[in-house]
Amino acid sequence: MTSRSGTVAEPVEASEPGAHGYRRPLTRADHVAMPNAQVMTYRQALNDTLRQEMIRDDKVFLIGEEIGVFEGSYKITAGLLAEFGPERVRDTPIAEEGFTGAAIGAAMLGYRPVVEIMTINFTLKAIDQIVNHAAKIHSMFGGQSSVPLVLRTPGGGGQQLAATHSQNLEVWYAHIPGLKVVAPSSPADAKALLLAAIRDNDPVIFLENLALYNTKGPVPDGDEAAEIGRAAVVRAGTDVTIVSYSRGVLTALEVAERFEAEGVSIEVVDLRSLRPLDRRSICASVMRTGRAVVFEDDWLTYGIGAELSATIAEGAFDYLDAPVRRVAAAEVPLPYAKPLELAAMPDADDLARAVRELLQDTRFRK
């Protein structure tokens, strides 16, 4: 499935390993079943994967601000300068448009650059290069040139970084044909999707939520890449579907655990890929449960959740027992003060309240 074909992926069941490795965040039960898996942080999974791909392919190089001597603002590139040298771990000036453009040129010449932009908020400085060049070169040149580039960037609130450093702008890039956009929620998916992104011949925006860097989970050895464009059912259920991505998946799983004690079975779908979007798997889950809540860290209006709600309405309307519910952030610039920041961000209580209201809503029940 590619951004060029428009093909929609087939549904993925909760326990299906598949040809490309596990298509869902791995649990402790998975770790027991896979003795070669190692428990590590999301941060370490990214670091290990970058190193693995740089060893495998000498066309892979890293470029960005403070990724070499300083080892990255979030230490994702720790140790890589010492191992691979300054030709392949390239520190840049504070000039996002310039070094993103340089990476695009290198990609057109056969290299596979991995660009690190310190925060998704700073991609605004390079948005012309991303949207008008990286995304369009393959199409505008009739397929004669490709841009196998990965742009890694973190985002999200909760770190008291204030309004201009805490945004989730993924919907901007998910809107653009020619780009692929992925958002892993677990260390295992961070590895599998980064492998896939680096090996893909299209430009990939690789989203990392700041709140996930220290989360831990089992990560399998080897180099099995995920399939970009595949969602995963990370928890099977029968009563309600929660659809989310990135940090929101962890919140959804927490809420599902709460409701299990009450006898309510919640299915959690992890999008993993925002573009291409696995519409079939989303609708297949809602067809099983009859109810859906969409949960996102971003603002409600014109967001990823709006696209998901439309997808469900178009593809699974006859199966719904109630209207789709959406849970999202308050539509304000995120405050710096911690109590106000937390109040503006959607949390497990907000999601649980929406699930409870949905269970009581039977307007569509036949």
Residue 57's contacts (CB-CB under 8 Å, 6 or more residues apart) are 112, 198
**326, amino acid identity:** R
Annotated catalytic residue, options 53, 71, 96, 116: 96
Residue 213's contacts (CB-CB under 8 Å, 6 or more residues apart) are 41, 42, 43, 74, 154
Q: Is 165 a catalytic residue?
A: yes
Name the H helices within 226-333.
Answer: 247-260, 279-289, 304-316
- Extract the tokens encoding 363: 């307007």
Pairwise CA distance, residues 264 & 241, whole Å: 11
Pairwise CA distance, residues 226 & 203, whole Å: 16
Query: How far is C-alpha 351 from the geometric centre of its chain's CA atoms?
Result: 20
Pairwise CA distance, residues 123 & 131, whole Å: 11
Residue 206 to residues 4, 185, 248, 265, 273, Cα–Cα distance (Å): 18, 12, 16, 32, 10
Render 125-179 in DSSP notation, one character per residue: GGHHHIIIIITTHHHHTTTS-----EEEEEE-SSSS--GGGS---HHHHHTSTT-
Annotated catalytic residue, options 65, 165, 170, 208: 165
Residue 184 CB: number of other CB atoms within 10 A?
29
Q: Is 96 a catalytic residue?
A: yes
> Is there a contact between 14 and 234 (Cβ–Cβ < 8 Å)?
yes
Query: Which positions are catalytic?
Result: 96, 165
